[in-house]
Amino acid sequence: MASSGEEPRSGSPGRAGTGTEPSPTADAAQLDTGEDFEVLEEEEEEEEDLSELPPLEDVSRPPVPPRDDAQPSEQSQGEAAEDSQEWLDVLGNGLLKKKTLVPGQGVDTRPRKGQDVTVRLKATLEDGSVVEENPALTFTLGDCDVLQALDLCVQLLEMGETALIVSDAKYCYGAQGRSPDIPPNATLTLEVELLAAQDAPDLELLSGKEKIELANRKRERGNFFYQQADYVLAINSYDIALKVIGSSSKVDFSPEEEAELLDVKVKCLNNLAASQLKLDHYEAALKSCNLVLEHQPGNIKALFRKGKVLAQQGEYRDAIPILKAALKLEPSNKTIHAELSKLVKKHADQKNVETEMYRKMLGNPSAAGAPGKCKDKLPWSIPWKWLFGATAIALGGVALSVVIAARN
């Protein structure tokens, strides 16, 4: 089978980079209606009912005993008001909140988007079970290399600050969860400490191996978002990977590194086209497929997806030969067979509709047979008309002769 793009797979908990590559000889029958990926159905986002959760102030510290010189009701009201002020509603929807546990070194020390940051991370479920612990997690801030909750809140941390983040599943692992330790729609509590922040390395100075590793990390993060059915963020990650690959370089790469970079680029473009198809961005998906085919004219997945894009646009006449080309490269592929048969039938139906439309534009089909009948009688009707005309002329001539003779 011709070289083809890689399937998105789930990334690692904190950041992508541990996804395994499929075998290049994988059966092309994986080209199914799920665009060669695991089929993930879109689900409506519902806000999780937080009414049964413990009060937020109970998450991080035990209750403070009341003082003797204060009324109990006033004390509890004051504590509630103070604690509500400590929690920052990051997005204004109540689904992502941050509270400082240990103050940092000032607002001026907050990291900027595009910088590489290092944090200490501890993630727990509502029941207190720890699902992830990393003493030094490094990622590029703003590139969605990690959970959205972490990526959004670290931008608000000061150097040395330790904060508690309570996040709805929407900004963590969503409706799919993470097997086996994080259930679907799970709220996570993240304890984060900002350890370091520095500018990201210059892409022009990266070696071939470093550029390949960086591009693969971004691509695998896109695969994670695809599995979460978040196709917008998947497209964002694939675009970042393509920018890394396409960046200019002041370092010479070996032929093997050039070939590997091209392979990563093709995988990103194929997966990008699949994500764009999910969002009905047909023109963008068609462009991505064409870019793959410029490098690999026999790429099965790109041919298959291009045919599907054209079919979605109603261009059956153009889609059919493309799918035939894909089927010629992979004659045993049942999925391509089925798609091609479906398109041939749709094309035939389309032609029938067009033919009927043209007939109606030219006139009523039922009245079209009348000229034919007249045409059949035409050879017999001409002599009688001629005879009638000749007789009339003769009678007119005789009458004229009688009148002339009478006058004379």
Which pLDDT tens digit goes with each residue over 236-262? 999 999 999 999 999 999 999 999 999
More confidently predicted of 106 and 45: 106
What is the 3-state secondary structure of the chain? CCCCCCCCCCCCCCCCCCCCCCCCCCCHHHCCCCCCCCCCCCCCCCCCCCCCCCCCHHHHCCCCCCCCCCCHHHHHHHHHHHHHHHCEECCCCCCEEEEEEECCCCHHHCCCCCEEEEEEEEEECCCCCEEEEEEEEEEECCCCCCCHHHHHHHCCCCCCCEEEEEECHHHCCCCCCECCCECCCCCEEEEEEEEEEEECCCHHHCCHHHHHHHHHHHHHHHHHHHHCCCHHHHHHHHHHHHHHHHCCCCCCCCHHHHHHHHHHHHHHHHHHHHHHHHCCCHHHHHHHHHHHHHHCCCCHHHHHHHHHHHHHCCCHHHHHHHHHHHHHHCCCCHHHHHHHHHHHHHHHHHHHHHHHHHHHHHCCHHHHHHHHHHHHHHHHHHHHHHHHHHHHHHHHHHHHHHHHHHHC
Task: Identify the band that residue 106 occupies on the pLDDT scale cut at 50, 70 and 90.
Answer: very high
- Tell me, yes or no, whether 154 and 291 share the same domain: no
The pLDDT value given to residue 335? 86
Answer yes or no: do 213 and 344 share one domain. yes
Average pLDDT score, the chain: 78
pLDDT tens, position by position, 255-282: 999 999 999 999 999 999 999 999 999 9
Task: Report which of 323, 297, 300 is spatially closest to residue 310, judged by C-alpha positions.
Answer: 323
Task: Encode 102-124: b = buried (16+ Cβ within 10 Å), e = exposed.
Answer: eebeeeeebbeeebbbbbebbbb
Determine the Cα–Cα distance for residues 139 and 285; give it in Å rounded to an integer: 29
What's the chain's length in residues?
408
232 token code pair? 């917008």
* CA–centroid distance for 281 within its chain: 8
Residue 400 falls inside a structural domain: no
216 and 356 in a single domain? The answer is yes
The answer on 213 and 328 residing in a single domain is yes
Mean pLDDT for 40-56 is 37
How many structural domains is the chain composed of?
A: 2
Which residues constitute the domain of residue 105? 88-199
Is residue 349 situated within a structural domain? yes
Residue 18 pLDDT exceeds 80: no
Q: Please state, in angstroms and rounded to a whole number, the distance separating the CA atoms of residues 7 and 176.
A: 18
Residues 226, 178 share a domain = no
> Which one of 171, 199, 227 terminates a domain?
199
Give the CATH number of the domain where residue 130 resides: 3.10.50.40
Q: Is the pLDDT of residue 390 over 90?
A: no
User: Between residues 164 and 376, which one has the greater pLDDT?
Assistant: 164
Same domain for 222 and 342?
A: yes
> Which of 165, 199, 233 represents a domain boundary (last residue)?
199
Res 356: pLDDT: 66
Cα–Cα separations (whole angstroms), residue 383 to 227, 370, 389, 396: 84, 21, 10, 20
Looking at the structure, do residues 112 and 137 belong to the same domain, yes or no? yes
Per the domain annotation, does 252 fall within a domain? Answer: yes
Mean pLDDT calculated for residue range 222-246: 94
Residue 43 lies in a domain: no
Residue 203 has pLDDT above 50, yes or no: yes
Say whether both 166 and 137 belong to one domain: yes
pLDDT at 43: 36
The predicted structure's pLDDT at residue 320? 87
Last residue of a domain, one of 180, 199, 218: 199
pLDDT at 388: 63
Is residue 126 located within the same domain as residue 269?
A: no
Cut 0.85: pTM above it? no
* Position 234 pLDDT exceeds 80: yes
Give the mean model confidence (pLDDT) for residues 311-330.
88
Q: Which of the pair, 99 or 71, is modelled with greater confidence?
A: 99
pLDDT, residue 42, reads: 35
Q: What is the mean pLDDT of residues 357-361?
A: 68
Looking at residue 345, what is its pLDDT?
Answer: 79
| 144 dihedral zone (left: phi>0; alpha: psi -120 to 50; beta) | left
Pairwise pLDDT comparison (322 vs 68), residue with the higher score:
322
Residues 356, 299, single domain; the answer is yes
pLDDT for residue 122 is more than 50: yes
User: Is the domain of 221 the same as that of 338?
Assistant: yes
pLDDT at 31: 32
How high is the pLDDT of residue 314? 85
For residue range 134-173, what is the model confidence (pLDDT) as tens digits?
A: 999 999 999 999 999 999 999 999 999 999 999 999 999 9
Query: Quick check: is 9 in a domain?
Result: no
Residues 270 and 3: beta-carbon distance below 8 Å: no
Q: Which CATH number does the domain housing residue 312 bear?
A: 1.25.40.10
User: For residue 343, what are its two tokens?
Assistant: 């398109």
Structure tokens at 376: 């059949």
Q: How high is the pLDDT of residue 119?
A: 97
| Statement: residue 60 has pLDDT above 50 | no
Within-domain flag for 286: yes
143, 222: one domain: no
Residue 381 lies in a domain: no
Tokens of 141: 């801030």
Bond prior to 54 in cis (omega within 30° of 0) = no
For residue 12, tell me if it sits in a domain.
no
84, 178, 257 from 260: Cα distances, Å: 52, 30, 5
Average pLDDT over residues 328-343: 86
